[in-house]
Amino acid sequence: MNENIDKAFKVALEARSNAHAPYSKFQVGAAIKVVGDDTIYPGCNVENASYGATVCAERNAIIGAVARNGKIEIEYVVVACNTDPVTVPCALCLQVISEFAKPEMPVYLGDLESVKKTVLFKDLLPMPFNTLDC
């Protein structure tokens, strides 16, 4: 893995340690890299007793990047979970990612040790909902 992905994985892992997951106990960390910005944006899942108010790690990272930059294009996403096999972003997160990423964007999936798998975004969500094409 390259040095930048390793750095992003460490950011995701650190964010995971901040997850607020008292209900599911399923802590997730994420990190995104935005095209043209050297910042690695962290995210962690934040659960709520009203489950619909829960926000996933990937969406938290995206929200932070948009709040800071406005319009963004995601260069890559890293997800860190304590699972075997590795966990992919949920369908809701994939749909949100589709607003900010090209189909060929890499998604790096890791456990608590390292990135274990790389997939292209288009392979996770081949047909995103897009009202712009209607």
Residue numbers in the chain where pLDDT is lower than 70: 132-134
Question: For position 132, what pLDDT does the model report?
Answer: 67
Catalytic residue among 3, 14, 47, 58: 58
Assign domain 3-133 to its CATH superfamily: Cytidine Deaminase, domain 2 (3.40.140.10)
Question: For position 62, what pLDDT does the model report?
Answer: 98
58 in catalytic set: yes
pLDDT in tens, 52-76: 999 999 999 999 999 999 999 999 9
Question: For position 34, what pLDDT does the model report?
Answer: 98
Per-domain residue ranges of the chain: 3-133
Kindly write down the DSSP assignment for every residue of 48-102, as one continuous string.
Answer: -SSGGG-B-HHHHHHHHHHHHHSS--EEEEEEEES-SSPPPPPHHHHHHHHTT--
